[in-house]
Amino acid sequence: MSNSPILVRLAVVFALALVVICFLKLSIEPTHELVWYACYKPLHRECARLLVPLDHHNLSSPKSSYAAIALIRIPSHFSSSGSSRLRSRYRGPILFNPGGPGGSGIRIINKFGDLLTQILGDEFDIVGFDPRGVAHSTPKVDLFGIANNGEREVWGYEELRVIRGGSNEKYSEVEGDKGVSVENTWARAVVRNRIAGENAGEWLGNINTDIVKALGREKLMYWGFSYGTILGATFAALFPDKAERVVLDGVGDAEDYYATSWTSNMVDTTETLNQFFTTCHAAGSSCASWAPSPSLISENLTSIYKDVITNPIPAHTPTSYSILDYSHLRTTIFYVLASPWTYWPLLAQALADLGGPNRDPTAIWRMAIMPAFKCPSCSLPCDDKDRQEQEFGVDNYLDALTAIMCSDGVDTPADLGSTKEYFETFTNESEWADTWANERLGCAGWPKTKKGFQGPVEGKTEFPILFIGNTADPVSPLVLAKTMSKRFPGSRVLVQDSPGHGSLSAPSVCTQTHVRAYFMNGILPPEGTVCPVISSPFPSSSPLHNFTLEGTTTADRDDMEVVLDSDGVDTSEDTMRKQRMWNTVDELSRTWNSRVYL
């Protein structure tokens, strides 16, 4: 790998012409040094486009071979204060990556940035970026071409498909449609990836860039989720002396990722579903799928599964129509496991509707729905952002997901025999292989690309990394946070006692005060810290823990005295500050959509 100053491993790039696009209703010329412009008015946002070499192996590339990385920030009010005393409170930028791969940092900061500021404090700039090839960054990953949305609709990544077969196939005794075959999945992937190779050309596999120095910093403060933990750990392994504060939240195994195995993620998936059953039962009438025991709720779901295998349901909503079959139901349940406080009440109602006498699929289909297909227009006005994003594919998440995952690690075997062997092995390890194996099987026949750093992802960083893991994360089991922590001596694991993918999928004042203390003062949580949550995913008249009037546990309050500048004596200002933190984590958990960035 080149020794050039590459500070963040980002994404895969495809060859499209570099143009000045209408970005966030403002045409922003990309520059070698960041120039910030007000955007998303009236919100307090600034946007920029950073010009970087398209081919990081050839830094003398002509200007036509540059990429533009889109960034957004919520600037700290202290950074521009006219008072030197107030300016001294400015701590610098914290860079965020929502995961995916293919997740848009622009969108996550625009939507959740104000809440993240409430957690971390106004002393920091809150910064998001779209990695190379993703969303607003150009050139973008486009496997089929803007004019070929029809091909994408037919041959694109099938997110809501179960793969049938394997020695441990679920409901093998039930006759009916249980998904697509391994053979069909493999063949579709080979065709799609040949198309990708033809469209991508020589630029396939350019994956690195330098963001941190452009922000005027020599060291990185970073909060990465899911795939963003792979990026953060890779950065820390490459540049251990530049890791100022790094939080890795919902942790993936970098070794497994770069081996393109992706089988270590499913350890706690079944436990997460079991927590849906137990919390639903505990919620009583607040959960629409309630039954006299968690096991009966589980049995009801099994009955629904078997019913849609033998009798798929026509689904017609005001915005779309299709067939609700076993594949759509199972994959939808799998994805919503990631966001309990956002989706579990809706899932409970949807299952109650499906299991009722009318077999109503409307609610579950709305949870599974993909954007309706539209043919692209020949021209679009610059100020029509919504139409432009939809038709020009700004949200190219599935294309980017495929491209990045298939290019980051070792090449995936292209033959059918290897594909079947992998699937058989995976099904013996996890009952959820039928949903997750799509990721790896979709890389069969992917074009060979230039490879960057693939490990070992380990080392002793200048400042310890903070890893965060939930006790029931459907795709990032707690054991992976502990595994990765062992590879970075001195790091610390903070455990959040909750279901969901990543800490923000559940409301824990304890967790987020520890995160704030880490960024603000460099304070690591004590070894063995386990943080509770403040509520159930289902509405309830009684909280999960013994709260004070401010809505926090006693342990949470002790943490907050340190982080929120309190002297232990509650003034009205202290009480308001703590209440804001409680409200913030609660709101985040009920709006944070982890399923988009698995």
pLDDT of residue 83: 78
Scanning the structure block, which residue is given the tokens 């520059």? 31
pLDDT at 394: 55
Nearest to 246 by CA among 267, 268, 221: 221
Q: Report the DSSP beta bridge partners of residue 468.
A: 249, 494
Collapsed DSSP state (helix, strand, coil) of residue 111: helix
C-alpha count within 13 angstroms, C-beta hemisphere, residue 577? 18
In this predicted structure, what is the pLDDT of residue 344? Answer: 97
Query: Is the pTM here over 0.85, yes or no?
Result: yes
Is the peptide bond preceding residue 376 cis, with omega within 30 degrees of 0?
no
CA distance from start to end of the chain: 28
d(CA 303, CA 307): 6
pLDDT at 210: 55
User: What DSSP line would sit under 207-236, residue for residue?
Assistant: -EE--TGGGT-SSEEEEEETHHHHHHHHHH
Alpha carbon distance 451, 464 (integer Å) = 28
Report the distance separating Cα 398 and Cα 167, nearest Å.
29
Dihedral class, residue 11 (left if φ above 0, else alpha if ψ from -120 to 50, else beta): beta
The number of helices, as runs of H, and strands, as runs of E, in the chain is 19, 16
3-state helix, strand, coil in the chain (%, to 5): 40, 15, 45
Q: Rounded CA gap, 283 and 275, in Å?
A: 12
CA distances to 216, 299, 574 from 42, rounded to whole Å, are 26, 50, 29
Q: What is the pLDDT along the chain (598 residues), one digit of tens a residue?
A: 333 322 222 222 222 222 233 444 447 888 888 999 999 888 899 999 998 877 665 656 555 578 889 999 999 999 876 677 888 899 999 999 999 888 899 999 999 999 999 999 999 999 999 988 888 888 888 777 665 667 777 776 666 789 998 888 888 889 998 999 999 999 999 988 888 887 764 444 443 435 666 666 789 999 999 999 999 999 999 999 999 999 999 999 999 999 999 999 999 999 999 999 999 999 999 999 999 999 999 999 999 999 999 999 998 777 777 889 999 999 999 999 999 999 999 999 999 999 999 999 989 988 875 556 665 554 445 444 444 444 444 567 788 888 888 988 999 999 999 999 999 999 999 999 999 999 899 999 998 877 778 889 999 999 999 999 999 999 999 999 999 999 999 999 999 999 999 999 999 999 999 999 999 999 999 999 999 999 999 987 444 443 333 334 444 455 545 555 544 455 677 778 788 899 999 999 999 886 555 5
Q: Nearest 5 degrees, angle CA 144-CA 148-CA 154?
A: 80
Residue of 360, 366, 319, 326 lying closest to 343 (CA atoms): 366
Of 19, 500, 484, residue with least CA distance to 230: 484
How many other C-beta atoms can be found within 10 angstroms of the C-beta atom of residue 98? Answer: 28
Helix 509-521 to helix 554-563 angle (10° resolution) is 20
Where do the H-state alpha helices sit in 449-591? 478-486, 509-521, 554-563, 572-591
